[in-house]
Amino acid sequence: MALLEVKNLDVTLATSRGPARAVRNLSFDLDRGQTLGIVGESGCGKSMTALALLGLLPENGVTTGSINLDGQDLLTLNEDAMCGVRGNRISMIFQEPMTSLNPLHTIGRQVTEPMLIHQGMTRDQARDEAVRLLERVGIASAAQRLDSFPHQLSGGQRQRVMIAMALSCKPDVLIADEPTTALDVTIQGQILDLIADIVAEAGMALILISHDLGVIAETVDRVLVMYGGAGVETGPTASLFEHLAHPYTQGLFAAVPKLGSGGRRGQGARLATIPGLVPELVDLPTGCTFADRCNIADGQCAGTVPTVHDVAEDAGHRVACLKPDDAKRQFAPAEAGR
């Protein structure tokens, strides 16, 4: 049994325009030491999935399905029991290091808080542990930094503090939601290296959420591509990047500007685009959520929930598409041109 098993997870948000299915029928599992990347554009449900795992959905959200952590279904836990899990066994690094630290409390207070609550440490023990953690995440003169306030740190340092907080109770599952989006590219590299090192060293499971295919490609073993709340393709990173099997994954990959394209007068000076817009969750089709933007979709796609096909069976590379052969065919010439 895997450490974390998510089965048929559905998150529905009640909005003024009707129910929005933010996550639909999502299943994945994750073991200790494994890293999973969730990639997709805004509104694809990747952050909602993370919030559902932590039981932090907004009040208008309803979750069905199951989230098993070590065989215990988190969705059946009451709020008190969930508090014992959140920050303790599953913890999260949020996107905005500027806004997710409390500006009125010192770094020390914020890093020690989970240890005081979950692990029953004394103040002194927690403080010593906090110094060790801050040193581990690469903050210089950590002991003095405990008394600093968030505004006295740079963005990269704040994100390091967030990582130290998330690690403080040695969680089994670490969720990083766009951990580097707010950071400069040279700092992004440092933070991704740090997360990868810590995850490998502690043998925890990592869920990395990002819209950046490059970050995903370099950091995780397995990828889950989401679109319109549904998982459209999943597989080991190497296999997925080699055979982009879903039309959305193909489109997303083609739309990313790549370094070394030779400039605007060079080859490939035009980016491929996915026609249309990222749809709103309330008006998504009942079948394949990508149907209205897909170039190989036909009449049945919008109304039929796509079936899951194996792309590479042994590797666990699967795609949810009604026309996987057409998708494969259109990917082949693109590949020849690379």
Name residues contacting other proteins, limited to 20-39 (CB under 8 A).
Answer: none
Name residues contacting other proteins, limited to 37-56 (CB under 8 A).
Answer: 41-42
Distance of alpha carbon 178 from the chain centroid: 7
Stretch that binds other proteins, among 73-81, 123-131, 249-257, 315-323 (CB under 8 A): 249-257
Examine residue 259 and tell whether it contacts other proteins (CB under 8 A). Answer: yes
Name residues contacting other proteins, limited to 94-153 (CB under 8 A).
Answer: none
Examine residue 330 and tell whether it contacts other proteins (CB under 8 A). Answer: no
Report the 10 Å Cβ neighbour count for 260. 7
Cβ at position 316, least distance to other proteins in Å: 15
Distance of alpha carbon 96 from the chain centroid: 14
- What does 180-235 look like in DSSP terms, one character per residue? TTTS-HHHHHHHHHHHHHHHHHHT-EEEEEES-HHHHHHH-SEEEEEETTEEEEEE
Examine residue 331 and tell whether it contacts other proteins (CB under 8 A). Answer: no
Question: Applying CB under 8 A, which of residues 66, 96, 135, 189 lies at the interface with other proteins?
Answer: 189
Question: Applying CB under 8 A, which of residues 79, 270, 313, 314 lies at the interface with other proteins?
Answer: 270
* Strand bridging mode 4-15 / 61-69: antiparallel
Cβ at position 242, least distance to other proteins in Å: 8
Examine residue 231 and tell whether it contacts other proteins (CB under 8 A). Answer: no
Q: What is the DSSP-derived secondary structure letter of residue 150?
A: G
Q: Which amino acid is it at 21?
A: R
Radius of gyration for the alpha carbons in the chain, expressed in angstroms and rounded: 21
User: How far apart, in whole angstroms, are the C-alpha atoms of residue 33 and residue 222?
Assistant: 12
Q: Which is nearer to other proteins, 47 or 188 (CB)?
A: 188
Those residues whose C-beta lies under 8 Å from the C-beta of residue 141, and which sit 6 or more positions away, are: none
Cβ at position 210, least distance to other proteins in Å: 9
- For residue 187, give both structure tokens: 């700092």
Query: 223 phi and psi, to 5 degrees?
Result: -125, 140
User: How far apart, in whole angstroms, are the C-alpha atoms of residue 121 and residue 114?
Assistant: 10
Examine residue 337 and tell whether it contacts other proteins (CB under 8 A). Answer: no
Q: Tell me the C-alpha to C-alpha distance, in Å, between residue 218 and each of 137, 169, 305.
A: 20, 27, 32
Contact 318, 235 (CB under 8 A): yes
Examine residue 215 and tell whether it contacts other proteins (CB under 8 A). Answer: yes
Examine residue 269 and tell whether it contacts other proteins (CB under 8 A). Answer: yes
Question: Applying CB under 8 A, which of residues 71, 103, 120, 263 lies at the interface with other proteins?
Answer: 263
Question: Applying CB under 8 A, which of residues 98, 256, 282, 332 lies at the interface with other proteins?
Answer: 256
Stretch that binds other proteins, among 66-74, 117-125, 170-178, 248-256 (CB under 8 A): 248-256
Spell out, one character per residue from 274 to 313, where the chain touches other proteins: x when CB under 8 A holds, - when not.
Answer: x--xx-----------------------------------
